[in-house]
Amino acid sequence: MATTKNSNIPSGDRRVRRTQTALARALIQLVEEHDLSRITVADVAERAEVSRSTFYDHYRDVHELAEAACTAMIDGLIGSLPSPGPESANPAPEATRSLEAFFASLAEHAGLYRALLGPQGSARVVDHIRRRIAATVYDRLHQAAGGLPEHAGPAPEIPHDVPAAFTAGALIGVAADWLQRGCPRSPAEMAALTWPLFGALYHLNAGTPA
């Protein structure tokens, strides 16, 4: 396979990524205009300026594309979430800002997240988000306690950890409810209301994580 002049990445891989990015961008635009259930492959292909056959080279249907777009965006968001810990009741300004950025990004793509996290949404996406948040919280708590080395790449499967699982479920629940209600509070308000709840949990669990 041919490679680009200034990269070891095969040009075919670059084309795949460009096409997938174009399809995701098209869907994100469309889902702000129409319910996800009413968007067709033809709609997405036309907006992305590709053929339907090209769409099917990458995804089985619109729902699979939506799941891929949502999980790709949420992975970046979760990585930026603040670290819970004993100091959570009095967070540094950057901690609340990162939580505000989390809600702001959800609001920016509210149509997509609302469709996938709502009552008729995607169990696969909800489970992916839950596992990613739980693994991130687990890692950070145990790193802070000196019991877990940092690692690169996706978080591994973690043992059953009640505080991490509780945090993940609570954050998904708060975000989904906020989205379904049309984001009535600003991201800054959501961060201000949510962070003390984290602080209360992790203040009570300030010892070595289970």
Residue 141, SS3? helix
Average pLDDT value for residue range 56-67:
94
Query: Region 27-47: what's the mean pLDDT?
Result: 93
The mean-pLDDT minimum among 127-131, 165-169, 200-204 falls in 200-204
Measured at the alpha carbon of residue 149, what is the angle toward residues 93 and 99, in degrees to the nearest 5? 25
pLDDT band at 166 (very low <50, low <70, confident <90, very high): confident
- Give the pLDDT of residue 12: 64
What would the mean pLDDT of 163-181 be, rounded to a whole number? 90
Burial class (CB in 10 A: 0-12, 13-18, 19+), 202: buried
* 7 token code pair: 């990269």
| 209: number of Cβ within 10 Å | 21
Q: Output the CA–CA distances (angstroms, integers) from residue 92 to 83, 88, 97, 194, in the order listed.
A: 11, 9, 9, 15
d(C-alpha 82, C-alpha 136), whole Å: 10
* Reported confidence tier of residue 92, pLDDT bands at 50, 70, 90: low
